[in-house]
Amino acid sequence: MKSRLRNSLTTLAMVACSALAITFFSGCSKKEETKTENIKVGAILAETGGASFLGGPEARTIRMVVEQINNQGGINGQKIDLIIKDSAASPEKAISFAKQLIEEEQVLAILGPSTSGESMKLKSICEKAETILISCAAAEVIVDPVAKWVFKTPQTDSFAAQKIFMEMNNLGISKIAILAGNTGFGKAGREQLLKFAPQFNIEIVEDEVYDKQSTDLSAVVTKIKANAEVEAVVNWSIVPAQAIVAKNMRQAGWEVPLFQSHGFGNPKYIETAGAAAEGIIFPSGRLLAADVLPDDAPQKAVLKKYIADYQSTYPGEKASTFGGHGYDAIMILTKAIENAGSTDKAKVRDAIENLKGFPGTGGVYNFSPTDHNGLGIDAFVMMIVKDGQFVLYDK
């Protein structure tokens, strides 16, 4: 009797232990599922500092889009866990944040940075870590030579330089001065101007590089103005220099055409330059010309939706091409995850590289193993500042 009772108690104990074990491991499994439920996406953007006109709209856009995606149930049923780091355009901060996002947060991808200099610092880091980087900066060297894990959304600076020279040919301009800030963006743009000028029979008779921290460029302007051969000026920089060059030229009474890079496409820049912005010519994506695009233009629906969403989410602020770079980055990543049907890094990377005919704010993207920007020269139109507004340039 005692033996039978002992056996029964032993059996009950074993059943109880088994039940506890099942509950324990089931609980662990559920916790693990909860941990991996969201898709971790990092972003390194210059929300503050000298490049905040770039990074601010990018960060606000990405937050807005992620909220929309999550409210609609996420991507393939998984919501996005967005982690944004403010680099203030510091390459050192960008490097530190990238390592943190990769090693500690184990993100699927990093969106940004906002500037070319930062992006170049992260290129090798993300390549080594096999982590997707979708830069919001423009320099062609970010994707040329191609790095397996690195992509970018803005139109490339080599095409921007060529568009500027095409317009100079139309205007009969053959001798120019170029100015460039000593940033990664300025350096890369200057190299493209020097490279393509001979192909368009453009002679660069003045070539100046200035400090990005400059608050007065009147001495540089005076120097190049003294050369009577100069028929036009190309300035390749970001703020505040874009406005300073324009103001100093007009203050000197110098009325030759001023061309800016595709980094001029933010309405805030017109405000900063004031009356001196009038007549500035620059290449741009079609976001600034969305209202005048034909209804069957492949980008029109995307552009109109983005502009409407942004300006309703952030009243009083106009949508800019820079916010568009952020929009394209998160939407390209989203589409790639959908197409891959997975959050496996390699599969998502492959899906980006094989994305074709994808309309974004910057153009219609066609990526390939040899092209990690996916945009051609036709992604650009030429714009001019007229009556304090961006309008299509009428030749």
**How large is the greatest C-alpha to C-alpha distance in the chain, in angstroms?**
117
Calpha distance 194→202 (Å, rounded): 10
176 with 233: CB under 8 angstroms? Answer: yes
| Nearest CA-CA partner of 86 in 118, 44, 57, 50 | 44
Calpha distance 119→382 (Å, rounded): 26
Residue 268 has a pLDDT of: 87
Residue 238 has a pLDDT of: 83
337 with 348: CB under 8 angstroms? Answer: yes
Quick one: DSSP state of residue 298? T
Ramachandran assignment for 76, one of left (phi > 0), alpha (psi -120 to 50 degrees), beta (any other): left
359 with 137: CB under 8 angstroms? Answer: no
Residue 395 has a pLDDT of: 67
The β-bridge partners of 132 are 109
How long a stretch of residues is the chain? 395
The amino acid present at 312, given as its one-letter code, is: S
Residue 71 has a pLDDT of: 98
The amino acid present at 113, given as its one-letter code, is: P
Pick the CATH number of 158-284 from 1.10.150.20, 3.40.50.360, 3.30.230.70, 3.40.50.2300: 3.40.50.2300
Residue 62 has a pLDDT of: 98
Calpha distance 290→288 (Å, rounded): 6
Q: Could you tell me the residue ranges of all domains in the chain?
A: 37-155+294-376, 158-284
Q: How many CB atoms lie within 10 A of CB 14?
A: 10
39 with 337: CB under 8 angstroms? Answer: yes
The rounded radius of gyration (Å) of the Cα atoms in the chain is 26
Tokens 């059943």 found at: 15
Residue 26 has a pLDDT of: 47
Calpha distance 285→377 (Å, rounded): 10
pLDDT, tens digit only, all 395 positions of the chain = 444 444 444 444 444 444 444 444 445 444 444 444 899 999 999 999 989 999 999 999 999 999 999 999 999 999 999 999 999 999 999 999 999 999 999 999 999 999 999 999 999 999 999 999 999 999 999 999 999 999 999 999 999 999 999 999 999 999 999 999 999 999 999 999 999 999 999 999 999 999 988 999 999 999 999 999 999 999 999 878 899 999 999 999 999 999 999 999 988 889 999 999 999 999 999 999 999 999 999 999 999 999 999 999 999 999 999 999 999 999 999 999 999 999 999 999 999 999 999 999 999 999 999 999 999 999 999 999 999 999 999 76
Residue 252 has a pLDDT of: 96
Pick the CATH number of 37-155+294-376 from 3.40.50.700, 3.40.50.2300, 3.40.50.300, 3.40.50.2000: 3.40.50.2300
Tell me whether domains 37-155+294-376 and 158-284 share a fold. Answer: yes
Residue 93 has a pLDDT of: 98
